[in-house]
Every structure is written in C-alpha cells, then in structure tokens.
Amino acid sequence: MLTAVLSGFGGAIAAPWLHRFAPRHAGWLAALLPFALMIYFISLVPTVAGGDALRFSYAWVPGMGVNLSFRIDGLSLLFALLITGIGTLVLIYAGGYLANDPMLGRMLTLLLIFMAAMLGIVTSDNLIGLFVFWELTTISSYLLIGYKHEYEKARKAALQSLLVTGIGGLALLAGIVLLGQIAGTLEISEMLTQGDVVRAHPLYGGILALVLFGAFTKSAQFPFHFWLPGAMEAPTPVSSYLHSATMVKAGVFLLARLNPVLGDTEAWRLFLTLFGGATMIVGSFLAVQQTDLKRILAYTTVSALGTLVLLIGVGTDDAIKAAMVFTLGHALYKGALFQVAGSVDHETGARDILHLGGLRTAMPITAAAAMLAALSMAGLPPMLGFIAKEVQYKANLSEPILIGVALLTNILTVVAAGFVSLRVFTGQPTPATEQAHEAPLSMWLGPVALALGGLGAGLFSTQIGNLLIGPATGSVLGKVKAVELVLWAGIEGAAGQALALSGVTLIAGIGLYYARSIFPRIAAATAPLATLGAESWYHRAVNGMLALAERQTRVLQNGYLRFYIGLIIMTTLILTGLMLLVGRVTITIPQDWTDVRVYELVVALIILAATTFVLRATSRMAAVVGLGFVGYGMALVFLLFAGPDLAITQFAVETLVAILFVLVVYRLPRFSNLSTTGARLRSAALAVAGGVLMTLLTLMALAEPGESRLSGFLAENSQPLGNGRNVVNVILVDFRSFDTLGEIAVLGVAAIGIYALLKLVLAPEQAPQPTTNGFDDGAVEGASHERAEAIDA
C-alpha cells in the first residue's frame, strides 16, 4: 500500500523525462503506472470481498501517535480502483489533448502527484497522515487548475479553489486533533470502535462542525459550491479527473469513513441532509441555465455531490448502499462526459451548446460514448445510473421531503443529460461544427471505456454488488453487509414505487428538455440574485481583506526602517508592561548582579563607547567602523561566557557585514541628518526604555533557579544520539533540525525573491498576451488534431 502511494510520486518525477525523450507517447507511457496499480488493486478484490482488510503501518512520529498507516477495506478499495482506473484513461487523454503543449510533462507530473495524494487519502489509517495527503491534493489541484497561468481567469480560479479548500483544511485539522484527543488514538481503525465515546463527549458538537466544514468545502457543498464551476478554467483532463471522480469526492469519502464515529446522531442527520439537499437543488437548477458544456457538467457534479452527502446523512443501510452505487456510477458517466466535452472543444473550438449541433456524423465514436454516458446520467436502463437512481429513491421513500428533493434534482439532471448529448450531437451542423472530424484514439478511448464501464456495471450489477458495493457499504456502516444489486427489482412494494418515480423523472425531464427555451428566461429573471450568492460574498471578503491590507500597509509599511524598529520596541514595551501590571509580577533582581570582573567591565565600556561613537558619527565609514566595534565587543562577551562557537560566528558575520557596508557605502547619497531633533529625542527615549526593559527581564531570568533538565539531556545524549561531541552543533543539526531547516527555508525564499527582483529590474520581460477567441481549451493549448492523430498512429 505504501509502495502504491510512493510509486505515484516516483512516476511524477519520471513524467517530464517521458515527455522529453518520448513526446509522442508520453501520455501512454505515463498511464502504465496507474494501470499497474489498478491491476494490483483488482487483485485485492477477492480478499476484501471476503471480509478481510489489509493494513500496513510505519512509525513516523511515535511520540505523538502519528504513523504512516495504510489500510484497504471495501470503501478504500472502491475509491482506489476509481482513482487508478480513471487516472489511467485521463493520462492517455492528456497526452493527445495537449499533444503540442510544451508543458505536457508538467501536466503529467501534477496529475501523478495528485493521484498519489488521493491514494494516500483513501488508504490512510491515521488521521494526521490523511490530513497530509488531503492538503497535498489542495496544493496539486491549485497548480492543475492554474495550469494555464498566463490567463487571469485561470489564476483567479486556482486561487479561489485554494482559499476555499485551504480554509476548510485548517478547520479539519482542528477537528482531527480534538477527535484524536477524545478517542485516545489517531488510528482510524481503532477510532471506529470509539463512536459512543466520541458522540457522548461535550466537544462532539465542535468536532462535528469542524469536520463538516472541511468536508463541505472540499466537496463543494452549498454555500461553498461556487469554486467548482470556476475551476472549469482548468484543461479538460484536469476537469475529467479532479472534478468527477477524485478530489471533489474526497470530502464525501471522509464523511463515509467517519460515519461510524460521528454519525447516527440528530445533528449529523440534520446537517448532512440539509446541506446535501440544498446542494442538490442549487446545483441542478444552475446546471440547466448554463450553455457551456463544462459548466453544465460542473453544476451537475455539484448536485451529485449533494446527493452523496444527503444519502450519508440519512445513514440507513439502503441509503449507504445507494451512496456507494451512485459514487461508482457518477464517476463513470461524468468522467466520460467531461472528456467528450474536451474532444468537442478540441475539434470545433467551441463549447457553447448554442453553437453546436449535428456532430454525430463527424464524430461518430465520440457521439456513441456521449449518448451511452448520458443514458447513465439520466438514469435509464440498462446503465448503472438507472440502478443508482432506483436505490436512491428506495432509500428516501420514508421521507416525503427528501423524495421531493431527489425527484426535482433528477428531473433537472435528465434535462442536463440531454443538453450535453442530444443538443450537441443531433440536429443540423452549425458553422462551428462543419469542419469537425473524429478525435484521435487517445481522446476517444477514455469516453468509450468509461461509458462501456457504466453499461457493463449495470448488466453485471449482481457481481459488482457482491465484489465492490457490498464491502464498501459494510465499511461505512461498520458491520458486515450483504448487498443485493439487480437491474430489475420488479414492480412490487418499494421497487414498484421507485420505478414509478423513475418514470415520472424521465417523462418530466424529457418534457422540460423540449421546453428548454424557458431556461434562458429563468436565468435572466434570477440574475439579480447572483449579487446575494455565496460567490459574491467570497469576492467581497477577498476584496475587503485586500483593502484592509492596503490601508494597513500604508500605515505600518512606510519604508522607514527606524519606524519599523520603533514600532516593534513600543509594542513590546506596551504588551510586556501590561503583563507585568496585570499579572502583578514581582521584579526580582539577583543579589550578585553588581559582581562584575574588570575585563568584563572593559568590554562593556568598549561597546558603550562604540555605540556613542556611532551616534555622533558624521560619516558613513566612521559609523561602519563603530558598528564593527560593537559587534566584535559582543563576540568577546560570548567568548568570555564560554560560547566559542557563538563568538566565532559573530566574528565571521561582523566581518562579512563590514565588507558589504564598505562595498556599498560609496553608492549611497551624501551623509546627512534626515530627522529633526525632536524625532531623535523620541527615538532615544524609546531606545532607552527598550534597553531598560530587556535588562530587567534578563535580571529577572537570572534570579530564577538555573537548573535545566534539557541542558543535561543534551549534553549526555549529544554523542550517543547525535554522534557529535560539539553539543551546539548537534543541537542545530539534530535536536533542533526542523528549526534549522526552517531558517534555511526562510533564507532560500528570500534569495529567490531577491533574484526575481534583480531579474525584473535588470532584464524586464513582456508579460504574455493570450489570444482571446471565445474558448479556453483545444486550440488555445495548441493541441492540434493532426498532431494527436499522428501520436496515436
């Protein structure tokens, strides 16, 4: 399991080399890795279906209970198969779709990193490990959505996704920490048995709110749904992978995984059904108002995610079974339809359904895949989508409100399915489609395979139920569950009622499709409501923060170093003084503070004299010399108090700084007083106050007992644990290695920033001017049909 995750990162490293040395076959070669992983996971199906779970654990931070633990049960296996199976087809598709793109290697790398991160999420058995992979999907999706970074829309969409899901991730981390404290473990498999303890704890409500916030932002639940349609600025391979089968379902996976721990309460049912139901209606309602193929699919994805959340919230055996069936069915048909949309855009240069039509003759293979996937989306037999819709209705039969929500959502989904299939491939050709022809093999293989997968899963639903849906359902419910999944359940009882609802859905959906002229009028009538929507509030929040930052910068970042230093000292004085007064701290000074040796007094006098000299200097060179004396005096202090390492470092730094000062001093303006006498007096008073404060704090620290268990531990373990006799060096590179690493990272980031500024000043470059031709994919990315066809040949 760990090997499967690591191999994804290894493949990401190799992807740029594949593009460099085998550009015509990069997508096919990159797809070999997820294909091999899919075969591996398929080999585990009999074991998991038999009721066993595979687990691997490696101690990462054992003192905090953080392990690299991985576990494959029914739920994780279902998602792992979707991630690797669809990932294989997406990589092949990307190789053809971006055939002429010089950055194809980067795309393949990011897709493989994302795949590895998703595998980490669904197989992790430790909550902290899961969170690490969770955040890695956030970062990699940000880079994927912003792949076309020369376009402002792509950058804004990527930032929007990062902010929304990133804030949710912070909330999730807080919930995970609290959950681990209450359950006494961070291992998910152990936590699943602590559900009663967690639900009875006073902090259960807070934990539930934090976890749901993280899951809802990730899975685009209302009111956080707006980032998903915006992410359609990403190239189609990204949309097909992230926004149909993987990233957006990470939140759903988390809710399903934690169902035995947090579920089965009124709060759980209320929040999941409320937000899930609202997301279903909002997503489907907005979908039928769109004319862009990818945005139609995006909003129907939002609606589908709401359906999954609602079903998990209902929590009955039938509801969980319906959620698992719908997870599989939706991934198959939506992944196919996203790729179909990309192929249409690639061959016609258009995605607006108002400008499309009659493509069935020009693109017969793509049209067949689209029709088959749309049948599953509309819930027609013998597709798996039909079974998913039937079990969804059965799960909600006892709740009239939920049935109404599901019925309305499914009717609008039928309309959307007609928009992305019939509207595009039937009728008369348009000027945009007259020159179109079939997409190459690499671009129709994915849609055909996924559409046929939906058909095969429907025809062999019994086997799918026994091998995949049953084990996944049992993992979510926390018990062994036998699942009966059939294409035809008869017309008796609940099956008959569900079938009747399906008939109503189909008839109403077809009727609305042929009355589709009403949707533009509805969109125009509801347009003013957009100013009250969640996305408008997001933009207000972002603009407000930027305005606040600008005003704050004008006040605090005025460009004067003395102002910054004075502000820091004044803030320290105020806060420390308040703490001393409020806390009524007694200032204790050691009795021997006046016992100063002669040579210590000499060094102190040298530092004071050098400081006075700097203040009275009338030239920069003299000030540099005086500052050097101050620095070397501090080095002598370190040396006198048994700190030779610090003294050597101080000597080196002071020498380097003095040389740098001398090198640049001749380029500075003529030395002169730039402040008034009053300003200098205020600065002097502030400096004296700061010095007195630090002196008092130092004396107070010296008055406390000097015993330290840490210093003894470091001295004793420097050699056996750090393999070094120099305790200070061992502290820096071993005991406090992360602190040192952070300092190095800060210096590295600063160096990169300085390099970028110098490059900008010395060699300014013109920003790229992207051409605007009314669409975002296809020709914009330079992926010509002829080149892609040659690759397949």
For the chain, which ranges sit under pLDDT 50? 765-793
Using a 10 angstrom Cβ sphere, with 0-12 exposed, 13-18 middle and 19 or more buried, the burial of residue 194 is middle
State phi, psi for 55 to the nearest 5 degrees.
-140, 145
> CB under 8 Å to 216, separation ≥6 — which residues?
168, 224, 251, 275, 309
For residue 227 the two structure tokens come to: 């980032």
According to DSSP, residue 124 is labeled B
What is the rounded distance in angstroms from the CA atom of residue 203 to the CA atom of residue 498? 40
Strand partners, 70: 56, 124
Half-sphere exposure of 710 (CA within 13 A, CB side): 5
Cα four-point dihedral sign 18, 19, 22, 25: positive
- pLDDT attached to residue 789: 43
What is the rounded distance in angstroms from the CA atom of residue 116 to the CA atom of residue 8? 5
Helix pair angle (441-459, 74-97), 10° resolution: 150
- pLDDT attached to residue 478: 85
- pLDDT attached to residue 120: 94
Half-sphere exposure of 333 (CA within 13 A, CB side): 35
- pLDDT attached to residue 256: 95
User: 129 with 72: CB under 8 angstroms?
Assistant: no
C-alpha radius of gyration, the chain, whole number: 32
Q: Which of 251, 171, 168 is nearest to 206 (CA)?
A: 171
- pLDDT attached to residue 697: 84
- pLDDT attached to residue 621: 83
What is the rounded distance in angstroms from the CA atom of residue 224 to the CA atom of residue 220? 5
User: 679 with 642: CB under 8 angstroms?
Assistant: no
Distances (CA, A) of 707 to 319, 590, 698, 702, 712: 62, 15, 16, 11, 9
Using a 10 angstrom Cβ sphere, with 0-12 exposed, 13-18 middle and 19 or more buried, the burial of residue 630 is middle
- pLDDT attached to residue 188: 94
H/E segment holding residue 61 = strand 54-61
User: 699 with 593: CB under 8 angstroms?
Assistant: yes
H/E segment holding residue 60 = strand 54-61
- pLDDT attached to residue 769: 47
User: 457 with 332: CB under 8 angstroms?
Assistant: yes
According to DSSP, residue 290 is labeled -
User: 262 with 480: CB under 8 angstroms?
Assistant: no
Question: In the chain, what is the greatest distance between 2 CA atoms, to the nearest angstrom?
Answer: 104
- pLDDT attached to residue 762: 63
Q: What is the pTM of this model?
A: 0.81
State phi, psi for 435 to the nearest 5 degrees.
-95, 10
- pLDDT attached to residue 5: 66
Distances (CA, A) of 319 to 164, 300, 716, 780: 29, 20, 60, 44
For residue 423 the two structure tokens come to: 């509207």
For residue 182 the two structure tokens come to: 């209450």
What is the rounded distance in angstroms from the CA atom of residue 49 to the CA atom of residue 43? 11
Strand partners, 157: none
- Amino acid code (one letter) for 330: H
- pLDDT attached to residue 243: 81
